[in-house]
Amino acid sequence: MSQSLTYILFSTLDAAVVNALILKIYKQPLLRYKYKILVLSVALVICSFLMRTVINLPALDLPLQYIIFVMFYYSVLEYRLHYAAFIIGSGLSAYISIQMIVYYCLAAIGIADKSVIFAHSGFPVNAIQLCSIVIGAAVALFLWMTERGFSFIIVPPHDTFRIKYSEYSHRIVVISGIISAVTIFLTLIIILSQNYILLMILSLASFGIAYYYSDRGDYESVRSDIEKHCNKIEEEQS
């Protein structure tokens, strides 16, 4: 099998695992979207391969993939735009963190170096992809089997017209979504400067912020449900 075909195969699995992470972190259905996600994964791989081999702008790969992800989740899976930006930013930050940890582990034993970030073939690239896929898939499987994750985002289709941005859950999603989007686009500058320690720190920080706001979102969702239930009981008793 040629190096290009190996890269395409691993990149397809890469994209599928990222989708699994995104959906399972927020307790969203995965199998329901399996064919749509397959189409998205293939589209992302084609985009990535062209950016790295034909257009020769590998640094633009991640920001462009983020845009494709968000628009696909918004237009095809019918998530609200700010929800799509939020959960995709969170999932991508988690996966980039996994990749960077794998990269530094392989670099420590002499398998990878800085040039691997811009490459699309070779053993170091395949090793990082394979290790990241296995770890990412294991995390997604763990979340699914243990029913862990955040549940304040309802399963789509979402009503995109009636959105109360004054509600706490919407505010934190918008804020965290903006932070995630800015982080993804900052990676362009960081990758060009080859400061991969900063990239790992930024990815971990972005996921940490998303985790904090997600936890707050779950808390506010439960609190809101309890308030509605109490108000309903009071109305019935009055």
- Whether pLDDT at 150 is above 80: yes
**In this predicted structure, what is the pLDDT of residue 37?**
92
pTM exceeding 0.95: no
- Whether pLDDT at 218 is above 80: no
Place of tokens 């900052």: 186
User: Are residues 53 and 60 in contact, defined by beta-carbon separation less than 8 angstroms?
Assistant: no
**In this predicted structure, what is the pLDDT of residue 81?**
83
- Whether pLDDT at 126 is above 50: yes
**Mean pLDDT, range 188-193, rounded to an integer:** 74
User: Are residues 70 and 88 in contact, defined by beta-carbon separation less than 8 angstroms?
Assistant: yes
**Mean pLDDT, range 72-81, rounded to an integer:** 89
**Mean pLDDT, range 112-122, rounded to an integer:** 78
**In this predicted structure, what is the pLDDT of residue 13?**
92
- Whether pLDDT at 55 is above 70: yes
- Whether pLDDT at 222 is above 50: no
Q: Please give the Cα distance from 173 to 163 (Å, whole number).
A: 12
Please write down the long-range contacts of 141-147, taking CB distance under 8 Å and 24 or more positions apart.
143/24, 143/25, 144/24, 144/30, 147/27
**In this predicted structure, what is the pLDDT of residue 237?**
55
Q: Please give the Cα distance from 43 to 12 (Å, whole number).
A: 9
The token pair at 174 is: 């918008």
**In this predicted structure, what is the pLDDT of residue 85?**
85
Q: Please give the Cα distance from 51 to 79 (Å, whole number).
A: 27
